[in-house]
Structure 1
Amino acid sequence: MRFASRYRRGEGVRRRAGRWRHAGRWRRAALAALVAGAVVLPLSAAVRPEIPAPPPASLAPLDASTLDEAYAANRANAAEAARTAAAHHDRDRAATDRSLAARARHLLAFDGRGSGRVTEVLGDLARADRIAVLVPGSDTSLDTYGRFRAAATALYGQLVRQAPGTRTAVVAWLGYETPGTVSTTVTTTGRAEQAAPHLRALVADLRATAGSGSRISLLCHSYGSVVCGRAAAGLAVDDIALVGSPGTGAESATALHTRARVWAARGGDDWVANVPHVRTNLFGTIVGFGTDPVSPAFGARVFTAGDGGHSDYFRPGTASLTNLTRIVLGETKAVTHD
């Protein structure tokens, strides 16, 4: 009887374990199917009509002596792009281009074609001792540039308030074609691989313009942290801050092969915390971005970001903006940690 009782209990355990294994396999298969669908299946969203625009302005190599010339040439190019967009009845794009052509705007680069590219400077770049480069994530284009510029403006304002005697500049770098949040490209490093050489070229231009003594920080949001991860190796920057990051494509901060300090933060209400931090090969395509940058395994300096969501890191008054400002200023001991 005791043997029969033990046998029945053992059979029950085995049946339950079998059910758990079956459920686990089903969940893994369902996840794989969903991810594969995101990567392989075509996206059926509507495509924005292509609006013609002039090619980018031809510029001399960038340094302090050619900076004003570059600003003027890019403003003129933006004005021509505005006229072209208006002629094709795209009022929103025309308005965006027209605002970028205003005399007060300082554009290091501008390309009004397609989704658009723009690199804008806030502050006196040629004399700056501290330079912050903002690298945006998905769904950032000329059509949504206002939101991105608002983040750069908030950071620049905070820099001026926190260190009024320090010469600072902020560079809003929309220098690549960002993936859509719901797209076949947002789960892979493809767009980041394409963007990385352009980010490296920007840093070289900043060094040539502001001088080797300036400190440069990359502040990388969301998919922008993947771009920074692909560009980081040997890059002449002092700090790399990853906020709202799904991963960098590297398994650790050491694997980025950078001499820069690597920082990471995530807001308490950021949905990116629910993104699986894995890298896997699906049908010849590498999907996912690896280790969570705020995990101890990654090895970044994790700092306080507060309770904000995915789009709140540069919101005035937040712990994240205060700490990002301290990082840019080199006030590393003042950065707060959870």
Structure 2
Amino acid sequence: MKSPLTIRLCGPRGFCAGVDRAIQIVVLALKKYGAPVYVRHEIVHNRYVVEGLEAKGAVFVEELNEIPAEYQAQPVVFSAHGVPKSVPADAEARNLFYLDATCPLVSKVHKQAMRHERQGRHVLLIGHAGHPEVIGTMGQLPEGAVTLVETEADAALIQPENPDALGFVTQTTLSVDDTDGIIRALRARFPNIQAPAAESICYATTNRQEAVKQAAPGTDLFLVVGAPNSSNSKRLVEVAERSGAARGLLVQRADEIPWDEIGDISVLGLSAGASAPELIVDEIIDAFRARFDVTVELAITAEETENFPVNRVLRDVELTTADMAFVNGNS
């Protein structure tokens, strides 16, 4: 006889509008221009999505010089995380046709950072070193114009040339609570520091964290579907553990669940990072149904209706039902 298990399924979860748009751009480009379509860096941080696009004819490269000369007339897509200004400049120098899939909310952060600099402020970027979004944001401004702040300890140590001429922006996928702590530390040291004109952490990150906070108390285990290099997914695990989950775990597929370690659980929390397809959430629920008598409870804190249009040059292409199922993470 199977043991009873309640799964608290978070909503919102999974694909956000920026991820949906980026995947659409690659699929539409393949339909319009044919394979190969090159993509600089993972379009989003999810192997299932990347492998699905590769099967359709996308070719992923880390740098533009990896694109063979005979295919330079084919499109190259820049990932949802954004790129430094040097990348489109390099594409133009190589006469490449590029499509920018940068999430509009990341582009907004780029504009906020540039606005600070135009107004004579040194920019403090709250984020994680080495993340593609951070590299892209720092690359919007001249070298030395941005200082990265990763922790409250960093905020206590930085020594800007002019403490009265500072502005901050943040990576879009951070923990809301961690970021608030860093901002408080910066404001305590630099009372004149200027905030961005609008919130930098994106709506999808905030919404997913709020749903996890609601669902986590009393859970024996909290699973987050996401890749190990996905910032927003890793933050969801941290939020779950801080909010009352006995244990948080990041998995990419059901076959990564350590069944021998789970033990006797009765309440499971389940969410998915912004680049994780719904298909994998369903796969994980099915894996638990095979082992437990499952009841699913919804933990919904918001409804998301955002939709970001694709590049104008692609708007004349129609997607089939199968294409849309893939774009939406359901196939």
* Superposition TM-score, scaled by structure 2 size: 0.25
Higher strand share: 2
